[in-house]
Structure 1
Amino acid sequence: MSKPKKFDRNLIVIGAGAAGLVSAYIAAAVKAKVTLIEAGAMGGDCLNSGCVPSKALIKTARVAQQVRDAARFGVRLAAPQIDFPAVMAHVRKSIADIEPHDSVERYTDLGVEVLQGRAQLVDPWTVKIALNAGGAQTLTARAIIVATGAEPLVPPLPGLERVGYVTSDTLWERLANLQQVPDKFLVLGGGAIGCEMAQAFARLGSRVTLVEMADRLLPQEDSDVSDAVQRALSADGVTVLTAHQALAFDNNETQLTEAGSVRLRGPGGELELEFDHLLLALGRRARGSGFGLEELGIVEDGKLYTDPFLRTRYPHILAAGDLVGPYQFTHMASHQAWYAAVNGLFGDLKKFAVDYSLVPRAVFVEPEVASVGLNEQQAKERGIPYEVTRYGIDDLDRAIVDGAAQGFVKVLTAPGKDKILGVTIVGENAAELIAEFVLAMKHRLGLNKLLGTIHIYPTMAEANKYAAGNWKRAHAPEKLLRWLERFHRWRRGQ
């Protein structure tokens, strides 16, 4: 296992999802000789089974809901008719239209060598690739980035293996064969994926039941956020069962079928629910097996450990993206990719610890949920003192005329100061509105600076300014104002 004196490549990247693609791009941009290896489809989970198809489906579901709501605006339309094969055609077209951004051709043009095949680390500097087209190739590299992503969690529940369940990875293949929207649709898991898909399928006409073992949906968010999302899902016809645990599945058949039933235990005892389709949305775990990581001791007991610079036990082998966590977001994978590429190529000269201080996140239900920095739950857990300022979006002119007068902006600040500790927004376009706060926090701009910034009227973005205004009113200089009151009274000659 001696280190080679010469290397075939400066960098080998394993996995062509967001982390792998960005890592390879950066390496090529600084003129390193880089090889990117992917056994499956370019673009990884985000393009092929995650962000892109789910948001395409969500958009269709929102259009259907807008048709139902049109009468509120004086436009009378017939109830929407869901052409489900056409819906899935829109999903596939969305993927196809974005595919060129992540294609072999594009990255080859950027200077990246792309090999399609299965990579295996045979020693700390050597990667063997079983090529999809046949044959094998072996390459050495001075640095290696492992970006193999994550896979859905499938719990060991009795009977589950006989039920034709789907995950976020396999859902789209199953849907492609359906001629109509699923009827009785069961979603297990009340996180972001579960909530998004439950609302989307309900709006497309499915009878949806969402089961969450915790006491509330989106348990990592504050309780007021969970309450707002549950109200929205219930209004769209989703039956939400929190504090319910799945015990076992049955399909009354000796062979695999899509339909079945689940036995649940909840506060009121046990109950049984039937379903035609089952989606498991219980989170994702790192995909670290089968790449030689265990044999090298990089993965131990199913866990991969990295230092703050994304280096494994071998400093020249780094990892990025969902494989590493702790945030399994596409934008975090891209963020980590810069550190992995720079530390892999230049780490012996200068290395950089990953900045996790500002990681925005969003849940694309309606109303949307977006947050950055601390929420109240996290601040309490960490013992960080804070003040809360709220602005209700139901008071916002643009939200009122758009029929979107629901939600809030909640800002956590240091006591007595305008320093922003965290922001949560629930409302239309929350994932867009949060960007202003991310920028402000990144550059240490407080609420006073936000308040002094002109926002176009009427826009949803004014909600951010009005939240800052509420903070200002709550921290008005009372002594100065009393003096000014006396001054103006004197000026009136009274």
Structure 2
Amino acid sequence: MNRQRLVILALIALAVGAFFLSGAHELLTLDTLKAEQAQFQAWLAEDPLTVIGGFFAIYVAMAALSLPGATLLTLLGGALFGLGLGLVIISFASAIGASLAFLIARTLARTPLERRFSRQLDSINRGIEREGAFYLFTLRLIPLFPFFVINLVMGLTRMRLRTFYWVSQLGMLPGTAVFVNAGRELGTLESLGGILSPGLLVSFALIGVFPWLARWGVEIAKRRRIARQYDKPRHYDYDIVVIGAGSAGLVASYIGAAVKAKVALVERDKMGGDCLNTGCVPSKALIRSARLAQDMRDAQRFGLSAAEPEVDFPAVMGHVHRAIEEVEPHDSPERYRGLGVEVIHGDAWLQTPWEVRVGDRVLTTRHVIIATGARPRVPELEGLEERDVLTSDNLWQLEALPERLVVLGGGPIGCELGQSFARLGSRVTLVERGSQLLSREDQDIARVVESRFEAEGVRLALGARAVRVEPGPSHGDSGRVLVIEREGPQGVETERLVFDQLLVAVGREANVSGFGLEGLGVLPRANGTIDVDDTLRSLHPNIWACGDVAGPFQLTHASAHQAWHATVNALFGEFKRFTVDYRNLPAVTFCDPEVARVGLNEREAAAQGVEVEVTRYGFSELDRAIADQHTEGFIKVLTVPGKDRILGASIVGHGAGELLGEYTLAMTHGIGLNKLLGTIHPYPTFSEAAKASAGVWKNAHKPERLLGWLERYFAWRRRSAQSSATAKRSATRSESHARSLDQ
């Protein structure tokens, strides 16, 4: 706890102690107020400004310190000032006092509690961000909730002070009015229970619940008004129609069929979507060929003759396409038809929320799941035509290895493909607008990747902005030129990069048009994804979305995670709907060295104001990594300061994606570093790195005082043993001497 907090806490403790030691709490009773009412009235008549100011200050202080007696002070205010003036004074005093209590709780407790309960508070903060004012207003309307508790709890959230103040000012007004009005009749009031009769409490509860009921009613009415624009079918052919047979659509179909729902899956192109045909599978096959080529160059490290590989690029692409063909049966129409899914090839069009047209057929369905994926984004760049560029979609039709390749974008796709082509023999320049590769990762993680890229001959143009594309530098050169700009010592510097092929990898955009969503009023968010809630439901209660089209993560396993939620919520949402939880979602970039992460990294922790403790373990310390000559990189684990609870793990190094699973499991099931350390790992393996990282943390938290006592204890034991041995030897000598005298 820092000095400022200690000072504030001490002042509060002194004020609270003075309140109780002075006996003020004993004076704040209904009988005392009634007995002294005449005296209070006399003081008010004699010096109204002093009495009003003093009353206001005392009320603010009591509310700020959450002291008992605010209710009785409200009664006194009603008796002294009447309903009008009393309501004004007490309303502002209570709102200001509540805001000070809010700030005190925030200053003293929010940071340590966020460290301890970051995951729990994260969901609360998301709710506060979404509808915090409405939620607080509802609580303020119901006197059943102690106001001082609301002040303190809200201080632990990320609600803005300004929002808290004005909502409190308005929300407490009805309850304050009731007590001020009761104070006018202070002499006839027998007990505080007389103010709030059971009937009045029920009325207050109804007032508080009314905004929720009204909101729910408005939502129902809004949905019904939209639904009335369409003719709802009298019966349904299907329980679910899934549009899109990529990762999300396949999982949604599988789950629906597994619980015996009737499912139709509509796909206009190839089953398997981007992951099978243009993404995960082909890129990993290409990466494998490129890695083997690099291993041949590095063979001398292992006592073998190094050789520059002869790359047969068409054969490499043949290997890529064979990988696709071998995985393809897993995602085939035949397999899904065997599972009970009706697979329909064609373009889907949503005529109504319950009707999907595919060619001449109209499918009626209780629910629709949109899983139409995303496509590569091609920036608007002067001189650039979409047909002239490579993307992760059309790259796999290349027949010749580009001699000069410029990669635009330093994210996961740009890094994976750029390094692979460089290893296969292309001269690669990677252009990234940010100051580092892999902008979402910590800088020290990115630096390891950048160093490897530069060592392998990949030229990096960081902090560079693409300006335009121009024709080649000469008539005899078939290449073209990408003009880039970046800040240099002398200001903005311009550079011209000659290329034979330009690979654009600046992100992907959701496929939200072309199947009728616009006509149903389902509009995209600002980032281009379908606007769905935390349960993946859209504006229409029976239209859901999952995968890349819904965002926020464009990862195959994220799509599968969402698909489960969308399908279960669609089929069983009348009973319970599940909110999607992304907290322990892992992500891997398959460059070399690999980059893997789950949970928070240092960049995100700093942005969110979460205090963390960082434990770092280098692969140069791992026996298996030394034997395999994969000592590059490290593991970085973020924990709650002083605790072993894992908040996040980042890994850069050989096989990082495989190592990440243990940390993901630990975070998902609340396993701390102490238990990882206590788990037996086989030797020598890379998996030992997880245990070793836990060992580094444990060593930093060893009980120094206890170890000091143990050191003294063992020293005493050694001295005691030595003294015993000396005494025994002396006794033996004495006994021998005595025997010799007897003889």
TM-score range, shorter chain: over 0.9
1:179-198 equivalences under 5 Å are 181-198=401-418
Residue aligning to 1:448: 674
Q: Paired residue for 2:485?
A: 265
Give the one of 604, 620, 623 matched to 1:394. 620
Partner SS, residue 421 of structure 2: helix
Question: Which of 455, 462, 472 is matched with 2:688 structurally?
Answer: 462
Instruction: Please say if residues 472 and 478 of structure 2, whose CA atoms lie closer than 8 Å, have aligned partners that are also in contact.
Output: no
Deviation digits for residues 218-266 of structure 1, max 9, x if unmatched?
111000011011011111110001000000001259xxx9831111001
CA distance in 2, matches of 1:10, 1:265: 54
Provide TM-score, normalisation by structure 1: 0.96
Correspondence for 2:703: 477
User: C-alpha separation between the residues in 2 aligned to 1:283 and 1:477?
Assistant: 49
CA offsets, 1:57-76, max 9 Å, x none? 00000000111111111111
Q: What residue is the counterpart of 2:172 in the other structure? A: none
Provide the rounded CA distance (Å) in 2 between the counterparts of 1:58 and 1:252.
Answer: 30
What amino acid is aligned across from residue 243 of structure 1 in structure 2?
Answer: G
Aligned to 1:74: 303
**Residue 506 of structure 2 aligns to which amino acid in structure 1?**
L
Superposition map of 1:374-385 within 5 A: 374-385=600-611
**The residue matched to 1:304 in structure 2 has which SS?**
coil
1:119 and 2:348 are equivalent in the alignment: yes
Deviation at 1:170, TM superposition (A): 1.2
For residues 3-37 of structure 1, the C-alpha deviation after alignment (integer angstroms, 9 at most, x for no partner) is 22210100000000000000000000100100000
Which sections of structure 2, spanning at least 5 residues, go unmatched? 1-229, 721-743
Q: Deviations over 1:101-128 (max 9, x none)?
A: 0000000001100000010101111000
Q: Tell me the secondary structure at the aligned position of residue 233 of structure 2.
A: coil
- Check the 8 A contact 1:163/1:251 in 2, yes or no: no
| Distance in structure 2 (CA, Å) of the matches to 1:287 and 1:162 | 17
* Structure 2 residue aligned with 1:167: 391
Q: Distance in 2 between matches of 1:384 and 1:332?
A: 25
Contact between 1:61 and 1:203, CA under 8 Å: does it hold in 2? yes
Q: What is the Cα deviation at residue 299 of structure 1?
A: 2.0
* Greater Rg by CA: 2
From the superposition, tell whether residues 377 and 83 of structure 1 become closer, same or farther in structure 2 (CA, over 3 Å). same
Q: Which residue of 2 aligns with 1:10?
A: 239
CA change 1:54–1:300 in 2 (3 A) is closer
Task: Tell me how far apart the structure 2 counterparts of residues 272 and 447 of structure 1 sit (CA, whole Å).
Answer: 50
Corresponding residue SS for 1:210: strand
Q: Distance in 2 between matches of 1:246 and 1:366?
A: 26
Query: What letter matches 2:337 in structure 1?
Result: T
Residue identity (%): 54
- Does 2:33 match 1:33? no
Contact 1:36 1:115 in 2 (8 A): yes
Per-residue CA deviation, residues 182-236 of structure 1 (Å, 9 max, x unaligned), is: 1000000000000111110010000000000011111110000110110111111
RMSD of aligned Cα (Å):
1.3
Report 1 or 2 for greater relative contact order, CA contacts < 8 Å, sequence distance ≥ 6. Answer: 1
Give, in angstroms, the shift of residue 354 of structure 1.
0.8
What is the 5 A alignment of 1:133-148?
136-148=360-372
TM-score normalised over the length of structure 2: 0.64
1:490 matched to 2:716? The reply is: yes
Q: Verify the 8 A CA contact 1:165 1:258 in the aligned structure 2.
A: no
Shift of 1:44: 0.1
Q: Aligned partners of 1:217, 1:303: CA distance in 2, in Å?
A: 25
- Output the CA distance in 2 between the equivalents of 1:162 and 1:438: 39
More helix per residue: 1 or 2? 2
What's the counterpart of residue 439 of structure 2? 219
Query: Using the alignment, how far apart are the partners of 1:280 and 1:221 within structure 2?
Result: 21
3-state secondary structure, aligned to 1:485:
helix
Q: Summarize deviations over 1:371-412 as a string: whole Å, max 9, x none.
A: 000000000000001000000101111001101111001000
1:327 aligns with 2:553: yes
Query: Please, which of 366, 377, 392 is the counterpart of residue 153 of structure 1?
Result: 377
Three-state SS of the structure 2 residue aligned to 1:46 is helix
- Matches for 1:279-294 after TM superposition, within 5 Å: 279-294=503-518
Structure 1 residue 52 and structure 2 residue 281: aligned?
Answer: yes
Out of 378, 398, 408, the residue aligned to residue 634 of structure 2 is 408
